[in-house]
Amino acid sequence: MLKVTFTALLSMMIAIMLIIICSIISKKSILDREKSSPFECGFDPKSSSRMPFSIQFFLIAVLFLIFDIEIVIILPMVVTLKISATSTWILTVMLFTFILIAGLFHEWNNGMLEWAN
């Protein structure tokens, strides 16, 4: 128990020392308008260099990730078909599918899948 306490205390001390050293030697840069603006031949830019990000792309990416995770959950269900009771397996698959369809219906009703508003 003493070794575990000593190791935890030593690792905390090393981490705190590294944080302090990094904060001391880190260079503080003063951000001004000229340094943070994009360079365009010495003139002020005609338009904003930052393009607005469409939230629709983000929503589609989140939906894609959700469906990928759902596929990862569904695939082992096929393997467990042989070793589980048929009625329990069917009930589980139907419940999971119902939850997926209800979520898709909810997104559809809220207009999340509409590309153009």
Lowest mean pLDDT among 65-69, 79-83, 85-89, 113-117: 113-117
Question: Is the Cβ–Cβ distance between 68 and 83 less than 8 Å?
Answer: no
2 versus 26: which is more confidently predicted? 2
CA pair distance 81, 41, nearest whole angstrom: 66
pLDDT of res. 8: 92
pLDDT digits (tens, 9 = 90+) for 23-52: 888 766 666 666 666 665 666 656 666 667
| pLDDT tens for each residue of 5-25 | 999 999 999 999 999 998 888
